[in-house]
Structure 1
Amino acid sequence: IKSSPGGLRDIHTINWLLLNYSRKNHEVHKFKEVITSSEAKELDKNKFWIWLLRYLLHKEAGREEDRLLFHFQISIANKLFPNMNNSEAAVEKLMHKYFRSALSISEINATVIQSFREKITKQKKGHSKILDKNFKVVNKLIELRSPETLNKKSSLILEIFVKLCEHPELEGINSNTLRKLKENKHLIDSSFRKKKRNTDLFIKLLKSERLMVTQLERMKQLGILGRYLPEFGKVTGKMQYDLFHIYTVDAHT
């Protein structure tokens, strides 16, 4: 829980970056350029959960220990969920909460780092080109030409991942567009899923010969895949407590 994705080191990285940034920009509102208020709240919520886990882990081990090993999972789960009669169910609940928190922290960390990277490259002469009427590319990152178009064209939420498959030279998604995707994922509802346009886009993504797995993983991290496939959303971060399943259900899937 220290060095793995979504662990303490990711939290430290964000704090170090913000600390360095605050030395150069003393105005508090400047932080909004690199981390939003909702991201900060989400980070704080999950940060305290990771801290609690580490405290209990050290207490159970009687020494410094950052590996959430099987025997520690049982004792910690029973302490956190004393009303659950089934220890295995308690462990699965513990690990589900941990993996969801780690996924959130990892995603926020990636977005914050991306924001800083863009601020650095922005100072240099970057390469920019129009991809089509909805997207453009700046320094090998795809972004919406008009972020507000998501409200009118919700299908762009899926289309952007298809574009990334079609253009392997692109390195990712611009941080502002990433945030717009997260803010608007509520648009993915039953009516969204029934639209032929969206079904066609998702099938096109699955048939892509390049980077399909990479984009599905990116969609999962942003919570978009779980919204589009509710069944997948339910198993994201789920853990089966046995010696044969070392990955979460969504990772196996």
Structure 2
Amino acid sequence: MITPYKDSAESKVDQVRRMFNRIAPQYDRLNLVISLGLDRSWRRKALSFLAPYAPQHVLDVATGTGDVAISLVQTMPSVKKVTGVDISEEMMRIGAEKVHQLGLSDRIVFNRQDCTATSFEENTFDAATISFGIRNFPDIPAAARELHRIIRPSGVLVIAELSEPTNPVLRMAYKLYAGNIIPLIGRFFSDDKDAYTYLPKSIAAMPQREKMVAILQEAGFSEAFYHSIFPGTCTIYVAIKGEPLPEIPEETTDEEPSVPETEG
């Protein structure tokens, strides 16, 4: 399992929580620089897959500083409420400040939750989103099962995640940038030098494209597909929770069905 701090005896959850608490003040700026300004357009593209479903109550998992939660209520007329969950208190604190400044505190709430075992009841949310966070989950299949449980029937899960290009030339350029340039940028902007060495390793280690789709299907989603954005460094996954099968009524009698008499 890839973890942020290889010499730490902490669990991955605790390491990831500590990492994001440490880099939270620089997180938004670093995202913009490292993605070459593309992270915002990637989020918009992900939400364009969600818009046709017109959800009202959305769960934003690994919400971070709340950018997706804010975009949901600002750009999607159907959305009445967003619940943002994360394991990093510091990231959500910054997110709550942004939400308060925008006057959206009545529509966006934050809640610390373990994504593999939340406190939400079954069939609570119309939709769920995860933007650039699923690679940090210690157990992605367990998280997918939990999301399937708390999304209502006919609801949708939309995931945007970093990925490696499949084209050999683009993949080579990506490896050079991710393995050498990203850690340098991270060390320049952040005191946590390990966080941005961990980033490319976590991308390489996570299930991508067909493998992620298979995990979503195995979790119970009736339909799942992916869409890669050129040059392949971001992939969007969409999964639909099917309607429950109708119950088959039990037989109320063992008697043979009657046959109408005919004149003979």
Structure-2-length-normalised TM-score: 0.25
Q: Which has the higher helix share?
A: 1
Higher-Rg member (1/2): 2
Q: TM-score, normalised by structure 1?
A: 0.26
Q: Which has the higher strand share?
A: 2
